Amino acid sequence: MRDDGITRLFVVSENSLTKEGLKRILSEDGFAVDVSYNNCRELLSELLSRPETMDGAIVLVDVARESEAQSFVDQLTHAFTDCHVVLLSSIFDFDAMVDAFRAGADAYLTNEIDCRSLIGSLKLVSLGEKLLPSKAVEYLPERTVGDSVPFSAANEESELLDLLSEREVETLRCLIMGYPNKVIANRLDISDATVKVHVKAILRKLKVQNRTQAAIWAVNNGLGASVPCATSAKPLMLQPNAPVEDEEKLLMKGLSA
């Protein structure tokens, strides 16, 4: 972040139109987009000599090839420990998304996102939130573990109950669906305060930092969203027609314990 409080943002894209479009859009909405780059190597070669420039900055990477996503994140997070890395992909690839978050990405978005939602997402990232696209929530309950061999519900419950209580497992299923605390409380017929206790216990036991990481851990370990939290699931993500300030409030509610 610059001395004037404006978030510095660097755009990385092989596409000149994409770079210029993003630079114009974001420069008008509170971001300082001073320079754009063709690839991460170009950015690193120019900025490694002045890493202080990257403190609190956001690097928005337009991913042309999904196979390179994790490598981009690895390079950037190792070179600049205090910057935020946001990937903008042309397609949704669940495995690439998980690999990117494991490498230290702060957000994985698809280029279907509209301008207002992108701006809202970047503002949340600058506040320390981690974001994933709504398609991820739709995809999570269908995931299997390892080499695509489904876990049975019995195996899921047996192994997870060794780590979490039954109520914590139910709460974790709701986190997969992106539900805020009030919705979880209503579905499980418990108080908001009890939900907060369960969420904090889940984060501690799974050794993760936030609800998004807990949801990704759960899916990687074979837990899908099911009753009571999979019915009428509405992903807690940015909505294209909602005002940015409303989007921020919604996400802050849903992503913070």
Looking at domain 7-133, which of 3.40.50.620, 3.90.550.10, 3.40.50.410, 3.40.50.2300 is its CATH number? 3.40.50.2300
The matching CATH number, chosen from 1.10.10.10, 3.40.50.1220, 3.40.225.10, 1.20.58.110, for 140-236 is 1.10.10.10
- pTM to 2 decimal places: 0.55
Tens digits of pLDDT across the chain (257 residues): 445 557 889 998 888 888 888 888 888 877 888 678 888 888 888 888 777 778 889 999 988 777 777 888 888 888 888 889 999 988 888 888 888 888 889 999 988 888 888 888 888 888 888 888 877 766 655 444 443 334 344 454 455 667 888 889 889 888 887 788 888 998 898 999 999 999 999 998 888 888 888 888 877 776 754 444 533 333 334 333 334 344 344 434 443 43
3-state DSSP call for residue 89?
Answer: strand
- Spell out the long-range contacts of 185-190 with Cβ–Cβ below 8 A and sequence spacing 24 or more: 187/228, 187/229, 188/228
Half-sphere exposure of 197 (CA within 13 A, CB side): 8
Distance between CA atoms of 129 and 125, rounded to whole angstroms? Answer: 5
Q: Tokens 């509610």 correspond to what residue?
A: 253
Break the chain into its structural domains and give their ranges.
7-133, 140-236
**Residues 57-86, buried b or exposed e (16+ Cβ, 10 A)?**
bbbbbbbeebeebbebbbbbbeebeebbbb
